[in-house]
């Protein structure tokens, strides 16, 4: 990350009214509450990014009552750099507010070379959690996730590792991510419960354009765990900013971005139609997309990455939105179920 200390920010004092306009949501049957909007650090906090901008984003988020910052061991690029750069920001701006923050990280995808650098084995998960704590400069994580299922490791071993991480005090809660198969998610719930560690949350890709998570929502309700939706704006497509092509300087225009350079034309066409509905309702496109997810009480929080303070402000409006009419939902569902390809 580019260190812009030649443009130092003044000492940070969070706004005293930061909790007055945000309603936290219970995470499953646990005692933990999460803000309806959380900040993901998948993008914009790697070594190619700007720490001055990153600090401003996290300050603005916290001032609005957003207390949950989500990372993973391989966020960057390069791998590990998002955790290291967050640690720098945390030390400068948030160390005295640690008790007010929910900081999470994950492990599962490739992180280092060799057979022990990815997956769900006890060796990989425990080593990775320790490495994340070291990079973050923290004594513990609030939530530690298994980032993705590993078909080569028995779920029992993964559950052993996750429960050990909690009993050793390295994390307060355990989550899973990208567990879309209901039977696998349900088995992990029971394995963790047998080990005395309840599953807190399942982090799933969920947006208007990717609805695989909906098969898990009844199970979350039944088993008592929360759901947090990542990529709720479909990597920016549901903001409407790609409706006329890829703008210069946007995340998709960045050669270091994870985003594809060729946008899905069907999704863009649907985004254009959805934007018309948003205009008629008098709300921003982002509010339409995020509120559509938050209308479901099984969704604890939506996890959105942002590249500016203005995007934080736009996204928080979804929290203030009062709801959809039946007609609104019918029109939205009609667009989402249509085939716009030519």
CATH number, domain with residue 104? 3.20.20.100
- Residues (pLDDT < 50) of the chain are 4-5, 253, 256, 258, 342
Sequence-ordered list of residues with C-beta below 8 angstroms from that of 176, at least 6 positions apart, any chain: 145, 146, 185, 188, 199, 201, 202, 203
What confidence tens digit (pLDDT) does each residue in 107-125 have? 999 999 999 999 999 999 9
Q: Does 67 map to a domain?
A: yes
Question: What is residue 58's predicted lDDT score, i.e. its pLDDT?
Answer: 98
Domain that holds residue 175: 25-261+293-322
Cα-to-chain-centroid distance, residue 316 = 15
Residue 8 counted as domain residue: no
Q: Which two tokens stand for residue 79?
A: 């791998």
Q: Do 286 and 306 meet the contact criterion of CB atoms below 8 Å apart?
A: no
* Domain assignment of residue 130, yes or no: yes
**What is the rounded (10 degree) CA torsion for 149, 153, 155, 158?**
-90
With respect to residue 286, please indicate whether it lies within any of the assigned structural domains.
no
Domain assignment of residue 15, yes or no: no
pLDDT for 5 equals 46
Q: pTM of the full predicted structure?
A: 0.93
Q: Is 122 exposed, middle or buried (0-12, 13-18, 19+ CB in 10 A)?
A: middle
Residue 335 inside a domain? The answer is no
Asked if residue 339 is part of any domain, the answer here is no
Per-residue pLDDT tens over the stretch 282-334 = 999 999 999 999 999 999 999 999 999 999 999 999 988 988 999 999 999 99
The pLDDT of residue 4 is: 45
Model pLDDT, residue 260: 54
Does residue 167 lie in a domain region?
Answer: yes
pLDDT for 339: 73
Report how many domains make up the chain. Answer: 1
> Distance between CA 287 and CA 7 in Å, rounded?
33
């Amino acid at each position: 990350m580019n260190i812009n200390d030649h443009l130092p920010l003044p000492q940070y004092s969070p706004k005293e009214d930061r909790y007055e306009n945000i309603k936290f949501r219970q995470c499953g049957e646990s005692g933990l509450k999460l803000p309806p909007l959380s900040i993901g650090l998948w993008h914009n906090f790697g070594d190619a990014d700007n720490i001055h901008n990153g600090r401003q984003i996290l300050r603005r988020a916290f001032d609005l009552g957003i207390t949950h910052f989500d990372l993973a061991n391989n966020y960057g690029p390069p791998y590990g750099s998002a955790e290291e750069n967050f640690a720098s920001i945390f030390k400068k701006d948030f160390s005295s507010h640690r008790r007010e923050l929910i900081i999470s990280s994950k492990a599962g995808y490739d992180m280092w070379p060799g057979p022990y650098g990815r997956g769900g084995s006890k060796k990989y998960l425990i080593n990775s959690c320790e490495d994340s704590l070291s990079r973050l400069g923290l004594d513990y994580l609030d939530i530690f996730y298994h980032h993705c299922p590993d078909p080569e490791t028995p779920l029992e071993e993964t559950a052993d590792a996750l429960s050990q991480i909690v009993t050793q005090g390295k994390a307060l809660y355990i989550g899973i991510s990208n567990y879309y198969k209901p039977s696998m998610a349900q088995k992990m719930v029971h394995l963790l419960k047998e080990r005395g560690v309840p599953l807190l949350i399942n982090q799933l890709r969920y947006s208007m354009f990717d609805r695989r998570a909906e098969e898990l929502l009844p199970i979350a309700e039944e088993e008592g765990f929360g759901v947090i939706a990542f990529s709720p704006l479909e990597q920016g497509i549901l903001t409407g900013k790609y409706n006329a092509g890829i703008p210069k300087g946007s995340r998709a225009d960045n050669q270091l971005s994870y985003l594809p350079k060729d946008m899905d034309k069907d999704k863009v066409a649907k985004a254009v139609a959805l934007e018309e509905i948003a205009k008629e309702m008098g709300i921003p496109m982002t509010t339409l997309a995020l509120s559509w997810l938050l209308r479901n009480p099984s969704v604890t929080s939506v996890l959105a990455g942002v590249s500016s303070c203005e995007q934080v402000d736009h996204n928080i409006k979804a929290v203030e939105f009062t709801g959809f009419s039946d007609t609104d939902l019918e029109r939205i569902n009609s667009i989402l179920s249509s085939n716009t390809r030519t």
